């Protein structure tokens, strides 16, 4: 049977962490027994989890544009994903719930579990700082992020290629020209697909091609 002290050690917190115990206290329990609930920690943890996932996405997927990054984050920072992590951590067994919520099997409810995970992340953030909280988020959500990233809608070149081939247009053709000094080179990419010609620049060949693919897609969408 899991206990709070074991969870604290797993998260790098002291066994007597007051913030962690508060993070596991539902408002229904606080109403019956007094003390502070985890609602404020859940509010803070929501922001920390979102930032940590965005931080990870930007660092790991440099070619993903803002729109695709937002989609990827939304596929991970949601009730189902966070509740799955909470179950992995056995937070349902540690949640302090009011009698009525216990009767309703609240410890199995995804919404309560997702909130509890966010509150736990906030506890780590408050007691150990952002880097430690980010490490916890990445440790438990990285598999979900990687799985979600395999959708080629997040890769503008793959998305354009698939669309072009489905339309019988063949693969897009890219042409890249580099200019400027070696320490500050700019790459200009041109992509041709189905009569559409789009151009974009980037700090690398891959980035320029990805930006050109986005430009081509936007031009076709506006046509």
> Domains in the chain, please, with CATH?
4-152 (1.10.1520.10), 155-222 (3.30.160.20)
Q: What is the pLDDT of residues 97-123, one digit of tens each?
A: 999 999 998 889 999 999 999 999 999
Give tens-digit pLDDT for 1-36.
578 999 999 999 998 899 999 999 999 999 999 999
Q: Is 118 a catalytic residue?
A: yes
The DSSP string of 128-182 is H-HHHHHHHHHHHHHHHHHHHHTSGGG-HHHHHHHHHHHTT----EEEEEEES-G
- Tell me the pTM: 0.72
Does residue 193 have a pLDDT over 70? Answer: yes
46 is annotated as an active-site residue: yes
Q: Please pick, among 46, 127, 155, 209, the residue that the annotation labels catalytic.
A: 46
Q: Which of 118, 127, 155, 209 is the catalytic position? A: 118
């Amino acid at each position: 049977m899991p206990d709070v002290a074991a969870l604290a050690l797993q998260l790098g917190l002291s066994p007597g962490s007051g913030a962690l115990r508060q993070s596991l206290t539902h408002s229904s329990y606080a109403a019956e027994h007094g003390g502070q609930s985890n609602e404020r920690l859940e509010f803070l943890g929501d922001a920390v989890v979102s930032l940590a996932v965005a931080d990870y996405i930007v660092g790991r997927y440099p070619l993903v544009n803002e729109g695709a990054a937002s989609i990827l984050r939304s596929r991970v920072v949601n009730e189902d994903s966070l509740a799955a992590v909470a179950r992995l951590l056995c937070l349902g067994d540690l949640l302090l719930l009011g009698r009525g919520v216990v009767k309703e099997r609240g410890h199995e409810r995804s919404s309560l579990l997702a909130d509890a995970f966010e509150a736990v992340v906030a506890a780590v953030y408050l007691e150990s700082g952002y880097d430690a909280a980010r490490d916890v988020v990445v440790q438990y959500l990285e598999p979900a992020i990687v799985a979600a990233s395999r959708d080629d809608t997040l890769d503008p070149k793959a998305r354009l290629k698939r669309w072009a081939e489905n339309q019988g247009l063949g693969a897009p053709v890219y042409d890249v020209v580099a200019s400027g000094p070696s320490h500050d080179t700019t790459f200009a990419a041109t992509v041709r697909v189905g009569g559409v010609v789009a151009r974009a620049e980037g700090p690398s060949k891959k980035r320029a091609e990805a930006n050109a693919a986005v430009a081509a897609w936007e031009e076709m969408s506006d046509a």
